[in-house]
Structure 1
Protein backbone atom coordinates (compact mmCIF):
# COMPACT_ATOMS: atom_id res chain seq x y z
CA UNK A 1 0.00 0.00 0.00
CA UNK A 2 1.32 3.45 -0.94
CA UNK A 3 1.33 5.98 1.91
CA UNK A 4 0.77 9.63 0.90
CA UNK A 5 3.82 11.81 1.50
CA UNK A 6 1.91 14.09 3.90
CA UNK A 7 0.77 11.13 5.98
CA UNK A 8 4.27 9.70 6.01
CA UNK A 9 5.71 13.00 7.23
CA UNK A 10 3.07 13.25 9.98
CA UNK A 11 3.72 9.66 11.05
CA UNK A 12 7.49 10.30 11.09
CA UNK A 13 7.01 13.42 13.17
CA UNK A 14 4.87 11.55 15.66
CA UNK A 15 7.41 8.75 15.93
CA UNK A 16 10.26 11.22 16.39
CA UNK A 17 8.24 13.12 18.99
CA UNK A 18 7.51 9.93 20.92
CA UNK A 19 11.15 8.86 20.70
CA UNK A 20 12.33 12.25 21.91
CA UNK A 21 9.91 12.18 24.83
CA UNK A 22 11.03 8.65 25.73
CA UNK A 23 14.63 9.92 25.91
CA UNK A 24 13.87 13.08 27.92
CA UNK A 25 11.20 11.76 30.32
CA UNK A 26 12.69 10.98 33.74
CA UNK A 27 9.48 9.66 35.34
CA UNK A 28 6.68 7.71 33.72
CA UNK A 29 5.41 5.27 36.35
CA UNK A 30 2.76 3.02 34.80
CA UNK A 31 1.91 5.50 32.04
CA UNK A 32 2.23 4.36 28.44
CA UNK A 33 5.39 5.41 26.57
CA UNK A 34 3.47 8.22 24.84
CA UNK A 35 3.11 10.09 28.16
CA UNK A 36 5.32 11.51 30.87
CA UNK A 37 4.77 12.34 34.56
CA UNK A 38 7.56 14.63 35.66
CA UNK A 39 5.54 16.15 38.54
CA UNK A 40 4.65 12.66 39.85
CA UNK A 41 0.90 13.23 40.20
CA UNK A 42 0.34 9.89 38.38
CA UNK A 43 -1.33 11.49 35.31
CA UNK A 44 0.15 12.55 31.97
CA UNK A 45 1.80 15.96 31.82
CA UNK A 46 0.71 18.56 29.27
CA UNK A 47 2.76 17.93 26.10
CA UNK A 48 4.53 20.61 24.06
CA UNK A 49 1.92 20.34 21.30
CA UNK A 50 -1.70 20.79 22.45
CA UNK A 51 -5.14 20.78 20.77
CA UNK A 52 -8.07 23.20 20.71
CA UNK A 53 -10.85 21.26 18.91
CA UNK A 54 -13.82 23.17 17.51
CA UNK A 55 -16.15 20.32 18.57
CA UNK A 56 -15.95 18.61 21.97
CA UNK A 57 -16.78 14.91 22.02
CA UNK A 58 -18.22 13.71 25.34
CA UNK A 59 -18.92 10.15 26.50
CA UNK A 60 -20.02 8.34 29.63
CA UNK A 61 -19.13 4.87 30.84
CA UNK A 62 -21.32 2.10 29.35
CA UNK A 63 -22.29 0.55 32.69
CA UNK A 64 -25.82 0.54 31.28
CA UNK A 65 -27.40 1.11 27.86
CA UNK A 66 -25.59 4.20 26.42
CA UNK A 67 -28.93 5.68 25.33
CA UNK A 68 -29.96 5.95 28.99
CA UNK A 69 -27.04 8.23 29.74
CA UNK A 70 -27.23 10.25 26.54
CA UNK A 71 -30.66 11.41 27.68
CA UNK A 72 -29.65 11.80 31.31
CA UNK A 73 -26.67 14.02 30.44
CA UNK A 74 -28.42 16.11 27.78
CA UNK A 75 -29.03 19.12 30.11
CA UNK A 76 -25.34 19.12 30.97
CA UNK A 77 -23.99 18.66 27.44
CA UNK A 78 -26.19 21.53 26.28
CA UNK A 79 -24.83 23.66 29.14
CA UNK A 80 -21.24 22.61 28.39
CA UNK A 81 -21.70 23.78 24.81
CA UNK A 82 -22.86 27.22 25.94
CA UNK A 83 -20.21 27.44 28.63
CA UNK A 84 -17.27 26.60 26.35
CA UNK A 85 -18.68 28.16 23.19
CA UNK A 86 -18.10 24.88 21.37
CA UNK A 87 -20.45 22.31 19.91
CA UNK A 88 -20.64 19.23 22.17
CA UNK A 89 -21.37 15.81 20.70
CA UNK A 90 -22.33 12.78 22.82
CA UNK A 91 -20.45 9.62 21.77
CA UNK A 92 -22.32 6.41 22.79
CA UNK A 93 -19.48 3.97 23.52
CA UNK A 94 -20.30 0.27 23.77
CA UNK A 95 -17.47 -0.95 26.01
CA UNK A 96 -14.87 0.31 28.48
CA UNK A 97 -12.00 -0.37 26.08
CA UNK A 98 -13.82 1.38 23.22
CA UNK A 99 -14.10 4.49 25.40
CA UNK A 100 -10.44 4.33 26.37
CA UNK A 101 -9.32 3.78 22.77
CA UNK A 102 -11.41 6.73 21.63
CA UNK A 103 -9.53 9.04 24.00
CA UNK A 104 -6.21 7.40 23.24
CA UNK A 105 -6.69 8.04 19.51
CA UNK A 106 -7.73 11.66 20.04
CA UNK A 107 -11.39 11.17 19.02
CA UNK A 108 -12.75 11.70 22.56
CA UNK A 109 -12.03 14.86 24.54
CA UNK A 110 -14.04 14.64 27.79
CA UNK A 111 -15.50 11.51 29.36
CA UNK A 112 -16.85 9.88 32.47
CA UNK A 113 -15.07 6.56 33.05
CA UNK A 114 -16.27 3.80 35.35
CA UNK A 115 -14.30 3.35 38.57
CA UNK A 116 -12.00 0.54 37.45
CA UNK A 117 -11.36 1.69 33.87
CA UNK A 118 -10.32 5.14 35.15
CA UNK A 119 -6.89 3.59 35.85
CA UNK A 120 -6.52 2.25 32.32
CA UNK A 121 -7.80 5.54 30.88
CA UNK A 122 -5.11 7.43 32.84
CA UNK A 123 -2.24 5.09 31.97
CA UNK A 124 -3.15 4.03 28.43
CA UNK A 125 -5.02 7.08 27.08
CA UNK A 126 -3.60 10.11 28.89
CA UNK A 127 -6.87 10.86 30.67
CA UNK A 128 -6.71 13.46 33.45
CA UNK A 129 -9.49 12.88 36.04
CA UNK A 130 -10.81 16.09 37.59
CA UNK A 131 -14.43 15.60 38.72
CA UNK A 132 -16.96 13.15 40.08
CA UNK A 133 -20.72 13.32 40.59
CA UNK A 134 -21.67 14.30 44.13
CA UNK A 135 -23.18 16.85 46.48
CA UNK A 136 -21.90 19.70 48.65
CA UNK A 137 -20.37 16.97 50.84
CA UNK A 138 -18.12 15.73 48.03
CA UNK A 139 -18.11 12.97 45.42
CA UNK A 140 -20.57 10.13 45.54
CA UNK A 141 -19.60 6.59 46.33
CA UNK A 142 -20.99 3.12 45.85
CA UNK A 143 -20.58 -0.38 47.19
CA UNK A 144 -19.83 -3.68 45.54
CA UNK A 145 -22.93 -5.75 46.26
CA UNK A 146 -23.55 -9.39 45.39
CA UNK A 147 -27.05 -10.11 44.15
CA UNK A 148 -28.88 -13.42 44.28
CA UNK A 149 -32.55 -14.13 43.78
CA UNK A 150 -34.61 -13.78 46.94
CA UNK A 151 -35.98 -17.28 46.30
CA UNK A 152 -32.50 -18.83 46.09
CA UNK A 153 -30.85 -20.78 48.94
CA UNK A 154 -27.64 -18.69 48.88
CA UNK A 155 -26.96 -16.75 52.07
CA UNK A 156 -23.21 -16.05 51.98
CA UNK A 157 -20.42 -15.89 49.42
CA UNK A 158 -19.05 -19.35 50.18
CA UNK A 159 -22.43 -20.76 49.11
CA UNK A 160 -21.58 -19.77 45.54
CA UNK A 161 -18.86 -22.37 45.00
CA UNK A 162 -19.46 -24.11 41.68
CA UNK A 163 -22.34 -21.77 40.80
CA UNK A 164 -22.94 -19.49 37.80
CA UNK A 165 -21.49 -16.13 38.87
CA UNK A 166 -21.37 -13.22 36.43
CA UNK A 167 -18.71 -10.53 36.48
CA UNK A 168 -19.19 -7.52 34.20
CA UNK A 169 -15.68 -7.21 32.70
CA UNK A 170 -12.08 -7.77 33.83
CA UNK A 171 -11.37 -4.03 34.10
CA UNK A 172 -14.48 -3.15 36.12
CA UNK A 173 -13.80 -2.38 39.78
CA UNK A 174 -16.94 -3.77 41.44
CA UNK A 175 -17.71 -6.13 38.56
CA UNK A 176 -14.24 -7.61 38.12
CA UNK A 177 -11.23 -6.46 40.15
CA UNK A 178 -12.68 -6.01 43.64
CA UNK A 179 -14.26 -9.50 43.76
CA UNK A 180 -10.83 -11.02 43.11
CA UNK A 181 -9.31 -8.93 45.91
CA UNK A 182 -12.12 -9.13 48.47
CA UNK A 183 -13.96 -12.45 48.04
CA UNK A 184 -11.12 -14.81 49.10
CA UNK A 185 -11.30 -13.49 52.69
CA UNK A 186 -14.98 -14.47 52.62
CA UNK A 187 -14.21 -18.05 51.58
CA UNK A 188 -14.70 -17.68 47.81
CA UNK A 189 -11.97 -17.49 45.15
CA UNK A 190 -13.15 -16.20 41.75
CA UNK A 191 -11.76 -18.29 38.92
CA UNK A 192 -11.12 -21.23 41.26
CA UNK A 193 -14.30 -21.77 43.27
CA UNK A 194 -16.42 -20.74 40.29
CA UNK A 195 -15.85 -20.11 36.59
CA UNK A 196 -16.09 -16.40 35.87
CA UNK A 197 -18.79 -15.55 33.34
CA UNK A 198 -18.73 -12.09 31.76
CA UNK A 199 -22.06 -10.34 31.22
CA UNK A 200 -20.75 -7.15 29.61
CA UNK A 201 -22.40 -4.71 32.03
CA UNK A 202 -23.79 -4.17 35.54
CA UNK A 203 -27.34 -3.94 34.21
CA UNK A 204 -26.86 -7.14 32.23
CA UNK A 205 -25.56 -8.93 35.33
CA UNK A 206 -28.54 -7.84 37.44
CA UNK A 207 -31.02 -8.72 34.70
CA UNK A 208 -29.29 -12.08 34.28
CA UNK A 209 -29.73 -12.92 37.97
CA UNK A 210 -33.36 -11.86 37.75
CA UNK A 211 -33.98 -14.12 34.74
CA UNK A 212 -32.10 -17.07 36.21
CA UNK A 213 -29.21 -16.98 33.71
CA UNK A 214 -26.82 -16.44 36.62
CA UNK A 215 -26.99 -17.61 40.22
CA UNK A 216 -25.27 -14.47 41.47
CA UNK A 217 -23.48 -11.34 40.35
CA UNK A 218 -21.27 -8.67 41.91
CA UNK A 219 -22.52 -5.28 40.71
CA UNK A 220 -22.24 -1.60 41.61
CA UNK A 221 -24.89 -0.64 44.15
CA UNK A 222 -25.67 2.66 42.43
CA UNK A 223 -26.48 0.96 39.13
CA UNK A 224 -28.77 -1.52 40.88
CA UNK A 225 -30.51 1.27 42.76
CA UNK A 226 -31.06 3.23 39.53
CA UNK A 227 -32.58 0.17 37.86
CA UNK A 228 -34.96 -0.32 40.78
CA UNK A 229 -35.89 3.39 40.77
CA UNK A 230 -36.68 3.23 37.02
CA UNK A 231 -38.79 0.12 37.49
CA UNK A 232 -36.44 -2.14 35.50
CA UNK A 233 -36.14 -4.44 38.51
CA UNK A 234 -38.02 -5.09 41.75
CA UNK A 235 -35.83 -4.92 44.84
CA UNK A 236 -37.92 -7.58 46.60
CA UNK A 237 -36.88 -10.13 43.95
CA UNK A 238 -33.28 -9.98 45.17
CA UNK A 239 -31.21 -10.65 48.26
CA UNK A 240 -27.88 -8.91 48.83
CA UNK A 241 -25.48 -11.39 50.41
CA UNK A 242 -22.38 -9.16 50.45
CA UNK A 243 -21.69 -5.43 50.61
CA UNK A 244 -18.19 -3.94 50.43
CA UNK A 245 -16.80 -0.74 51.84
CA UNK A 246 -17.40 2.44 49.84
CA UNK A 247 -15.62 3.09 46.52
CA UNK A 248 -15.51 6.34 44.53
CA UNK A 249 -17.91 6.36 41.60
CA UNK A 250 -17.19 7.29 37.99
CA UNK A 251 -14.47 9.82 37.31
CA UNK A 252 -14.69 12.54 34.65
CA UNK A 253 -11.51 13.26 32.75
CA UNK A 254 -10.24 15.36 29.88
CA UNK A 255 -7.57 14.43 27.34
CA UNK A 256 -4.12 15.48 28.58
CA UNK A 257 -3.21 17.24 25.34
CA UNK A 258 -6.04 19.74 25.32
CA UNK A 259 -4.94 23.36 25.34
CA UNK A 260 -4.47 24.25 29.05
CA UNK A 261 -6.87 27.20 28.79
CA UNK A 262 -9.55 24.92 27.33
CA UNK A 263 -8.94 22.27 30.00
CA UNK A 264 -9.34 24.88 32.74
CA UNK A 265 -12.52 26.19 31.11
CA UNK A 266 -13.98 22.68 30.94
CA UNK A 267 -13.16 22.08 34.61
CA UNK A 268 -14.81 25.33 35.67
CA UNK A 269 -17.91 24.55 33.57
CA UNK A 270 -18.24 21.22 35.38
CA UNK A 271 -17.77 22.73 38.83
CA UNK A 272 -20.23 25.59 38.24
CA UNK A 273 -23.03 23.39 36.86
CA UNK A 274 -25.93 22.38 39.12
CA UNK A 275 -28.06 19.45 38.09
CA UNK A 276 -31.69 20.21 37.16
CA UNK A 277 -34.35 18.18 39.00
CA UNK A 278 -34.50 15.36 36.46
CA UNK A 279 -30.74 14.82 36.61
CA UNK A 280 -30.88 14.84 40.43
CA UNK A 281 -33.52 12.12 40.18
CA UNK A 282 -31.58 10.14 37.56
CA UNK A 283 -28.43 10.19 39.69
CA UNK A 284 -30.02 9.44 43.08
CA UNK A 285 -29.61 12.84 44.69
CA UNK A 286 -26.32 13.98 43.19
CA UNK A 287 -26.64 17.61 42.21
CA UNK A 288 -23.18 18.70 41.04
CA UNK A 289 -19.68 17.74 39.93
CA UNK A 290 -17.12 17.81 42.73
CA UNK A 291 -13.31 18.11 42.29
CA UNK A 292 -11.17 14.97 42.44
CA UNK A 293 -7.58 13.93 41.80
CA UNK A 294 -6.44 10.53 40.60
CA UNK A 295 -3.56 10.52 43.09
CA UNK A 296 -5.78 10.86 46.17
CA UNK A 297 -9.32 9.75 45.31
CA UNK A 298 -8.37 6.62 43.36
CA UNK A 299 -5.78 5.30 45.81
CA UNK A 300 -8.14 2.60 47.15
CA UNK A 301 -9.04 1.51 43.60
CA UNK A 302 -5.37 1.22 42.62
CA UNK A 303 -4.76 -0.90 45.73
CA UNK A 304 -7.64 -3.24 44.82
CA UNK A 305 -6.22 -3.58 41.31
CA UNK A 306 -2.76 -4.41 42.64
CA UNK A 307 -4.13 -6.85 45.24
CA UNK A 308 -6.23 -8.60 42.59
CA UNK A 309 -3.18 -9.14 40.41
CA UNK A 310 -4.51 -6.83 37.70
CA UNK A 311 -2.62 -3.52 37.93
CA UNK A 312 -3.54 -0.80 35.47
CA UNK A 313 -0.61 -1.46 33.14
CA UNK A 314 -0.19 -2.19 29.43
CA UNK A 315 -0.03 -5.98 29.82
CA UNK A 316 -3.34 -6.09 31.73
CA UNK A 317 -4.95 -3.70 29.25
CA UNK A 318 -3.88 -5.77 26.26
CA UNK A 319 -5.46 -8.83 27.88
CA UNK A 320 -8.69 -6.83 28.25
CA UNK A 321 -8.59 -5.88 24.57
CA UNK A 322 -7.96 -9.50 23.54
CA UNK A 323 -10.83 -10.75 25.69
CA UNK A 324 -13.25 -8.22 24.24
CA UNK A 325 -12.13 -9.05 20.69
CA UNK A 326 -12.74 -12.75 21.33
CA UNK A 327 -16.16 -12.04 22.83
CA UNK A 328 -17.09 -9.89 19.82
CA UNK A 329 -15.95 -12.65 17.46
CA UNK A 330 -18.08 -15.26 19.22
CA UNK A 331 -21.07 -12.92 19.19
CA UNK A 332 -20.66 -12.34 15.45
CA UNK A 333 -20.34 -16.07 14.79
CA UNK A 334 -23.44 -16.73 16.84
CA UNK A 335 -25.39 -14.12 14.89
CA UNK A 336 -24.53 -15.87 11.60
CA UNK A 337 -26.03 -19.16 12.74
CA UNK A 338 -29.60 -19.79 11.49
Structure 2
Protein backbone atom coordinates (compact mmCIF):
# COMPACT_ATOMS: atom_id res chain seq x y z
CA UNK A 1 0.00 0.00 0.00
CA UNK A 2 1.33 3.45 -0.89
CA UNK A 3 2.16 5.71 1.99
CA UNK A 4 0.87 9.24 1.84
CA UNK A 5 4.46 10.54 1.43
CA UNK A 6 5.28 8.13 -1.44
CA UNK A 7 2.02 8.96 -3.21
CA UNK A 8 2.84 12.67 -3.03
CA UNK A 9 6.31 12.04 -4.50
CA UNK A 10 4.90 9.97 -7.36
CA UNK A 11 2.26 12.59 -8.10
CA UNK A 12 4.85 15.37 -8.26
CA UNK A 13 7.08 13.28 -10.51
CA UNK A 14 4.23 12.85 -13.00
CA UNK A 15 3.80 9.11 -12.44
CA UNK A 16 0.02 9.49 -12.28
CA UNK A 17 -0.21 12.26 -14.88
CA UNK A 18 -2.91 11.86 -17.52
CA UNK A 19 -1.63 11.02 -21.02
CA UNK A 20 -1.02 14.15 -23.12
CA UNK A 21 -3.75 15.02 -25.56
CA UNK A 22 -3.14 14.40 -29.23
CA UNK A 23 -1.83 17.48 -30.99
CA UNK A 24 -4.17 19.40 -33.27
CA UNK A 25 -3.78 18.75 -36.99
CA UNK A 26 -3.38 21.79 -39.26
CA UNK A 27 -5.24 21.81 -42.58
CA UNK A 28 -4.66 24.45 -45.25
CA UNK A 29 -4.97 25.33 -48.92
CA UNK A 30 -3.62 28.15 -51.12
CA UNK A 31 -5.07 31.66 -50.61
CA UNK A 32 -6.87 31.73 -53.94
CA UNK A 33 -9.96 33.22 -52.35
CA UNK A 34 -10.87 35.59 -49.53
CA UNK A 35 -10.67 34.45 -45.92
CA UNK A 36 -14.47 34.35 -45.72
CA UNK A 37 -14.70 32.21 -48.85
CA UNK A 38 -11.91 29.95 -47.66
CA UNK A 39 -13.66 29.33 -44.36
CA UNK A 40 -16.94 28.69 -46.16
CA UNK A 41 -15.37 26.03 -48.39
CA UNK A 42 -12.80 24.40 -46.11
CA UNK A 43 -14.15 24.67 -42.56
CA UNK A 44 -16.83 21.98 -43.17
CA UNK A 45 -14.02 19.69 -44.36
CA UNK A 46 -11.94 20.41 -41.24
CA UNK A 47 -14.98 19.68 -39.04
CA UNK A 48 -15.62 16.43 -40.87
CA UNK A 49 -11.99 15.31 -40.61
CA UNK A 50 -12.04 16.11 -36.88
CA UNK A 51 -14.97 13.74 -36.54
CA UNK A 52 -13.32 11.05 -38.67
CA UNK A 53 -9.87 11.15 -37.05
CA UNK A 54 -10.86 11.82 -33.46
CA UNK A 55 -8.31 14.64 -33.45
CA UNK A 56 -9.03 18.34 -33.75
CA UNK A 57 -8.37 19.46 -37.32
CA UNK A 58 -7.88 23.22 -37.59
CA UNK A 59 -8.36 25.00 -40.90
CA UNK A 60 -5.70 27.68 -41.21
CA UNK A 61 -6.21 30.34 -43.88
CA UNK A 62 -2.89 31.76 -45.13
CA UNK A 63 -3.12 35.52 -45.58
CA UNK A 64 -1.09 35.45 -48.80
CA UNK A 65 1.10 33.23 -50.95
CA UNK A 66 4.28 34.13 -49.09
CA UNK A 67 2.73 33.00 -45.80
CA UNK A 68 1.47 29.82 -47.44
CA UNK A 69 4.88 28.99 -48.88
CA UNK A 70 6.71 29.87 -45.65
CA UNK A 71 4.48 27.73 -43.44
CA UNK A 72 4.65 24.85 -45.90
CA UNK A 73 8.44 24.98 -45.94
CA UNK A 74 8.42 24.93 -42.13
CA UNK A 75 6.33 21.76 -42.18
CA UNK A 76 3.43 23.33 -40.29
CA UNK A 77 0.69 21.80 -42.45
CA UNK A 78 -0.48 18.25 -41.72
CA UNK A 79 -3.26 18.08 -44.32
CA UNK A 80 -3.19 20.14 -47.52
CA UNK A 81 -5.32 20.54 -50.62
CA UNK A 82 -3.40 22.08 -53.51
CA UNK A 83 -1.75 21.49 -56.88
CA UNK A 84 0.69 18.90 -58.24
CA UNK A 85 3.88 20.99 -58.01
CA UNK A 86 3.49 21.56 -54.27
CA UNK A 87 2.36 17.97 -53.79
CA UNK A 88 5.46 16.67 -55.54
CA UNK A 89 7.69 18.89 -53.41
CA UNK A 90 6.09 17.90 -50.09
CA UNK A 91 6.24 14.27 -51.14
CA UNK A 92 9.99 14.48 -51.77
CA UNK A 93 10.94 16.79 -48.92
CA UNK A 94 8.44 16.22 -46.11
CA UNK A 95 7.04 12.73 -46.53
CA UNK A 96 3.52 13.81 -47.46
CA UNK A 97 1.34 11.23 -49.16
CA UNK A 98 -1.41 11.99 -51.73
CA UNK A 99 -4.78 10.69 -50.55
CA UNK A 100 -7.55 11.66 -52.98
CA UNK A 101 -7.53 13.89 -56.04
CA UNK A 102 -9.86 15.66 -58.40
CA UNK A 103 -10.37 13.60 -61.57
CA UNK A 104 -8.75 14.45 -64.89
CA UNK A 105 -5.41 15.94 -65.84
CA UNK A 106 -4.18 19.52 -66.12
CA UNK A 107 -2.45 20.75 -69.27
CA UNK A 108 -1.64 24.17 -70.62
CA UNK A 109 -0.91 25.96 -73.90
CA UNK A 110 1.07 29.02 -74.83
CA UNK A 111 -0.55 31.02 -77.63
CA UNK A 112 0.24 34.00 -79.85
CA UNK A 113 -1.71 35.81 -82.55
CA UNK A 114 -2.01 33.89 -85.79
CA UNK A 115 -0.34 36.67 -87.77
CA UNK A 116 2.65 36.70 -85.39
CA UNK A 117 5.67 35.67 -87.48
CA UNK A 118 8.56 36.42 -85.14
CA UNK A 119 7.44 33.98 -82.46
CA UNK A 120 7.53 30.39 -83.64
CA UNK A 121 8.92 28.55 -80.61
CA UNK A 122 9.34 29.00 -76.88
CA UNK A 123 12.91 30.28 -77.18
CA UNK A 124 11.64 33.23 -79.23
CA UNK A 125 9.81 34.55 -76.16
CA UNK A 126 12.92 35.27 -74.11
CA UNK A 127 12.60 38.85 -72.86
CA UNK A 128 9.10 39.22 -74.33
CA UNK A 129 5.80 39.68 -72.51
CA UNK A 130 3.48 36.81 -71.57
CA UNK A 131 0.05 37.34 -70.02
CA UNK A 132 -0.27 34.84 -67.19
CA UNK A 133 -1.04 34.30 -63.53
CA UNK A 134 1.92 35.20 -61.32
CA UNK A 135 4.03 32.30 -60.03
CA UNK A 136 3.61 29.91 -58.28
CA UNK A 137 0.53 29.30 -60.43
CA UNK A 138 0.92 25.87 -62.04
CA UNK A 139 0.22 27.06 -65.59
CA UNK A 140 2.96 29.69 -65.37
CA UNK A 141 5.42 27.36 -63.64
CA UNK A 142 4.88 24.76 -66.37
CA UNK A 143 5.93 27.19 -69.09
CA UNK A 144 8.74 28.90 -67.18
CA UNK A 145 10.30 25.52 -66.43
CA UNK A 146 11.08 25.21 -70.13
CA UNK A 147 13.45 28.18 -69.83
CA UNK A 148 16.52 26.82 -68.03
CA UNK A 149 18.48 30.09 -68.27
CA UNK A 150 17.09 32.65 -65.75
CA UNK A 151 18.49 35.51 -67.82
CA UNK A 152 16.63 34.32 -70.92
CA UNK A 153 13.11 34.09 -69.58
CA UNK A 154 9.96 35.92 -70.72
CA UNK A 155 8.41 38.77 -68.74
CA UNK A 156 5.19 37.89 -66.92
CA UNK A 157 2.37 40.42 -67.21
CA UNK A 158 -0.01 39.46 -64.42
CA UNK A 159 -3.59 38.57 -65.28
CA UNK A 160 -6.38 37.33 -63.01
CA UNK A 161 -7.98 34.78 -65.33
CA UNK A 162 -7.28 32.60 -68.35
CA UNK A 163 -9.80 34.57 -70.46
CA UNK A 164 -7.91 37.69 -69.38
CA UNK A 165 -4.68 36.19 -70.74
CA UNK A 166 -6.40 35.40 -74.03
CA UNK A 167 -7.77 38.92 -74.28
CA UNK A 168 -4.31 40.31 -73.50
CA UNK A 169 -2.92 38.53 -76.55
CA UNK A 170 -5.76 39.64 -78.78
CA UNK A 171 -5.52 43.33 -77.82
CA UNK A 172 -1.73 43.45 -77.96
CA UNK A 173 -1.10 43.82 -74.23
CA UNK A 174 1.14 40.75 -74.40
CA UNK A 175 2.96 38.90 -77.13
CA UNK A 176 1.79 35.55 -75.76
CA UNK A 177 -0.58 34.10 -73.18
CA UNK A 178 -0.72 30.97 -71.02
CA UNK A 179 -4.07 29.20 -70.72
CA UNK A 180 -5.46 25.93 -69.47
CA UNK A 181 -5.99 23.76 -72.54
CA UNK A 182 -9.72 23.18 -72.16
CA UNK A 183 -10.41 26.85 -71.52
CA UNK A 184 -8.31 27.84 -74.54
CA UNK A 185 -10.20 25.45 -76.81
CA UNK A 186 -13.49 26.99 -75.75
CA UNK A 187 -12.25 30.57 -76.21
CA UNK A 188 -10.64 29.79 -79.58
CA UNK A 189 -13.89 28.28 -80.82
CA UNK A 190 -15.74 31.44 -79.83
CA UNK A 191 -13.13 33.89 -81.07
CA UNK A 192 -10.54 32.62 -83.51
CA UNK A 193 -7.30 34.54 -83.99
CA UNK A 194 -4.55 32.72 -82.10
CA UNK A 195 -2.23 29.75 -82.58
CA UNK A 196 -0.54 27.40 -80.14
CA UNK A 197 3.26 27.36 -80.01
CA UNK A 198 3.64 25.12 -76.96
CA UNK A 199 1.51 22.44 -75.31
CA UNK A 200 2.42 20.93 -71.95
CA UNK A 201 2.01 17.28 -71.01
CA UNK A 202 -0.85 16.52 -68.68
CA UNK A 203 -0.23 16.28 -64.95
CA UNK A 204 -2.55 14.91 -62.24
CA UNK A 205 -5.12 17.23 -60.77
CA UNK A 206 -5.20 18.86 -57.34
CA UNK A 207 -5.28 16.56 -54.33
CA UNK A 208 -5.40 16.20 -50.57
CA UNK A 209 -2.14 15.11 -48.96
CA UNK A 210 -1.30 14.10 -45.40
CA UNK A 211 2.04 14.53 -43.67
CA UNK A 212 4.25 12.37 -41.44
CA UNK A 213 2.49 13.26 -38.17
CA UNK A 214 -0.42 11.11 -39.34
CA UNK A 215 0.11 7.36 -39.02
CA UNK A 216 -0.65 5.20 -42.11
CA UNK A 217 -3.87 3.88 -40.55
CA UNK A 218 -5.14 7.42 -40.06
CA UNK A 219 -4.26 8.37 -43.63
CA UNK A 220 -6.20 5.36 -44.88
CA UNK A 221 -9.17 6.33 -42.73
CA UNK A 222 -9.16 9.90 -44.14
CA UNK A 223 -8.92 8.57 -47.69
CA UNK A 224 -11.94 6.31 -47.21
CA UNK A 225 -13.85 9.10 -45.49
CA UNK A 226 -13.27 11.62 -48.30
CA UNK A 227 -14.43 9.06 -50.87
CA UNK A 228 -17.58 8.19 -48.91
CA UNK A 229 -21.05 9.66 -49.38
CA UNK A 230 -20.66 11.59 -46.12
CA UNK A 231 -17.33 12.91 -47.36
CA UNK A 232 -18.99 14.06 -50.56
CA UNK A 233 -21.37 16.16 -48.47
CA UNK A 234 -18.51 17.72 -46.49
CA UNK A 235 -16.57 18.57 -49.67
CA UNK A 236 -19.50 19.61 -51.85
CA UNK A 237 -18.57 23.31 -51.85
CA UNK A 238 -15.01 22.51 -52.84
CA UNK A 239 -16.16 20.19 -55.62
CA UNK A 240 -18.60 22.86 -56.81
CA UNK A 241 -15.70 25.32 -57.18
CA UNK A 242 -14.21 23.03 -59.83
CA UNK A 243 -17.55 21.90 -61.28
CA UNK A 244 -16.81 18.26 -60.43
CA UNK A 245 -18.82 15.58 -58.66
CA UNK A 246 -16.38 13.30 -56.88
CA UNK A 247 -12.81 12.68 -55.76
CA UNK A 248 -10.82 9.60 -56.70
CA UNK A 249 -7.85 7.80 -55.08
CA UNK A 250 -4.42 9.34 -55.64
CA UNK A 251 -1.00 7.67 -55.73
CA UNK A 252 2.53 8.79 -54.96
CA UNK A 253 3.78 7.61 -58.34
CA UNK A 254 1.71 10.06 -60.38
CA UNK A 255 3.04 13.09 -58.46
CA UNK A 256 6.66 11.91 -58.31
CA UNK A 257 9.13 14.48 -59.64
CA UNK A 258 6.61 17.30 -60.08
CA UNK A 259 8.24 19.34 -57.31
CA UNK A 260 10.87 20.31 -59.88
CA UNK A 261 8.38 22.78 -61.36
CA UNK A 262 9.01 24.97 -58.28
CA UNK A 263 12.70 25.18 -59.18
CA UNK A 264 12.72 28.97 -59.50
CA UNK A 265 10.43 29.68 -56.54
CA UNK A 266 12.44 30.79 -53.51
CA UNK A 267 12.86 28.08 -50.90
CA UNK A 268 11.54 25.23 -53.06
CA UNK A 269 14.58 24.19 -55.09
CA UNK A 270 14.87 20.48 -54.33
CA UNK A 271 18.68 20.41 -54.43
CA UNK A 272 19.01 23.44 -52.13
CA UNK A 273 16.32 22.11 -49.79
CA UNK A 274 18.28 18.91 -49.28
* Fold shared per TM-score above 0.5: yes
Shift of 1:101: 3.4
Out of 100, 105, 122, which is 1:141 matched to?
105
Residue 107 of structure 1: SS of its match in structure 2? coil
Count of residue pairs brought into register by the alignment: 238
Distance 2:26 2:193 in 1: 38
Match of 2:258 in 1: 301
- Give the TM-score taking structure 1 as reference length: 0.53
Asked whether the 8 Å contact 2:101–2:206 carries over to 1, the reply is yes
Instruction: Say whether 1:274 aligns with 2:274.
Output: no
Asked whether the 8 Å contact 2:92–2:259 carries over to 1, the reply is no
Distance 2:66 2:248 in 1: 24
Asked whether the 8 Å contact 2:99–2:208 carries over to 1, the reply is yes
Shift of 1:243: 3.6
CA RMSD of aligned residues (A): 4.4
Match of 1:290 in 2: 249
- Give deviations 1:278-312, integer Å, cap 9, x for gaps: 5444223241242321xx10247368779xxxx95
Distance 1:122 1:173 in 2: 17
- Give deviations 1:170-199, integer Å, cap 9, x for gaps: 655431244433x89xxxx9853x533274
Asked whether the 8 Å contact 1:123–1:312 carries over to 2, the reply is no
Distance 1:65 1:145 in 2: 24
Residues 260 and 290 (structure 1), Cα distance of their counterparts in 2 relative to 1, 3 Å cut: closer
Instruction: Say whether 1:180 aligns with 2:145.
Output: yes
Shift of 1:313: 0.9
Residue 116 of structure 1: SS of its match in structure 2? helix
Instruction: Say whether 1:83 aligns with 2:52.
Output: yes
Larger-gyration structure (1/2) = 2
Match of 1:23 in 2: none
Distance 2:261 2:74 in 1: 28
Distance 2:145 2:270 in 1: 17
- Give the TM-score taking structure 2 as reference length: 0.63
Match of 2:206 in 1: 250
Match of 2:7 in 1: none
Match of 2:219 in 1: 263
Structure 1 unmatched ranges of 5 or more: 1-50, 135-139, 229-234, 319-338
Residues 79 and 154 (structure 1), Cα distance of their counterparts in 2 relative to 1, 3 Å cut: farther
Out of 191, 216, 224, which is 2:176 matched to?
216
Residues 91 and 219 (structure 1), Cα distance of their counterparts in 2 relative to 1, 3 Å cut: farther
How do residues 46-61 of structure 1 correspond to structure 2 at under 5 angstroms?
A: 52-54=22-24, 56-61=25-30
- Give deviations 1:85-104, integer Å, cap 9, x for gaps: 44433322355564343244
Distance 2:56 2:29 in 1: 17
Out of 30, 33, 58, which is 1:65 matched to?
33
Residue 53 of structure 1: SS of its match in structure 2? coil
Asked whether the 8 Å contact 2:125–2:154 carries over to 1, the reply is no
Residue 249 of structure 2: SS of its match in structure 1? strand
Structure scoring higher RCO (CA < 8 A, sep ≥ 6) equals 2
Instruction: Say whether 1:101 aligns with 2:83.
Output: no
Shift of 1:247: 1.3
Shift of 1:237: 9.3
Residue 265 of structure 1: SS of its match in structure 2? helix
Shift of 1:248: 0.9
Residue 262 of structure 1: SS of its match in structure 2? helix
Structure 2 unmatched ranges of 5 or more: 1-20
